[in-house]
Amino acid sequence: MDTKELLKKVRKIEIKTRRLSDHIFGGEYHSTFKGRGMTFSEVRQYQFGDDVRSIDWNVTARYNEPFVKVFEEERELTMMLMVDVSGSELFGTTNRFKKDIITEISATLAFSALQNNDKVGLILFSDEIELFIPPKKGKSHVLRIIRELLEFSPKSNKTNIGEALKYLTNVMKKKAIVFVLSDFMAKDYKQTLKITGKKHDVTGIRIYDEKEEYIPNLGLVQMLDSETGLVKLVNTQSKSVRNAYGEYYRNRVDYFKETFNKSGCGILDCRVDESYVKKLLGYFKRRG
């Protein structure tokens, strides 16, 4: 992708997703994700109706009239976007790949954080950490994240969600809002997620294509495993083959939902041909 084409794509995504974050998600994001607590702001003279428990007795004694402590929410937060860039994200049977939806959702979330003056960071992962962009504020930083989401070429096509979560725990010492965007066609991340969920506010956003849920009867078909690169001749006429695939797919989805629920983390399913806007907005409102 040349620079001119890349900038054009970045601009297109910015216009679409920033409009969403400004008009729809900004307020919902703010009310859903709270600050780290209350921090001292100032003292002022006592007014009728103030809670007597907030009286600052030292200042009151000094001025011989009641003063109260004023606290405000420590609003600044950090959002981490953890994006699966393995080979399976380049699947799509409509006019869009899973990667396209992941990029738009990530951009919308990043602009929502930007609007609330929060920091945003990015981890791109396969079965290794492909790229880490430390959390930072500012529009230029968010645009850099979008550029990476659009043009980054991973070294590996495989997936290891557990390793990505372990890396997050090591680099993020303070609590963060974490969105993991993947198709979650992986296992063995239960224990790592349990640890991550205790420290951070984690949401798994599963992006999938409806044609992944089952194999239709198409006769003998050559199929490519996008993560291993292996090509196999599959007899889709066989009912047992179709059933085995369906069971494999359901097991992966069930593992995702059960693991995230038991770890106290949020879950969200987004099909590529559905409106992720409604899904995100509904999720924010349920949590708010």
User: 163-176: per-residue pLDDT in tens?
Assistant: 999 999 999 988 99
Residue 235 has pLDDT above 90, yes or no: no
Q: Are residues 61 and 203 in the same domain?
A: no
How many domains in the chain?
2
Whole-number pLDDT of residue 204 = 97
CATH number at residue 109: 3.40.50.410
pTM of the model: 0.78
Within this chain, do residues 183 and 48 fall inside the same structural domain, yes or no? no
Same domain assignment for residues 28 and 54: no
Domain that holds residue 184: 3-32+76-287
- The residue ranking higher by pLDDT, 210 or 142, is 142
Residue 249 has pLDDT above 80, yes or no: yes
Q: What is the pLDDT of residues 70-112, one digit of tens each?
A: 765 455 789 999 999 998 766 655 667 888 899 999 998 998 8
Point out the domain boundary residue: 54, 73, 92.
73
Tell whether 89 and 65 lie within a shared domain.
Answer: no
Report the pLDDT value the prediction gives residue 25, as an integer from 0 to 100: 59
- CA distances (Å), 253 to each of 148, 240, 260, in order? 28, 20, 11
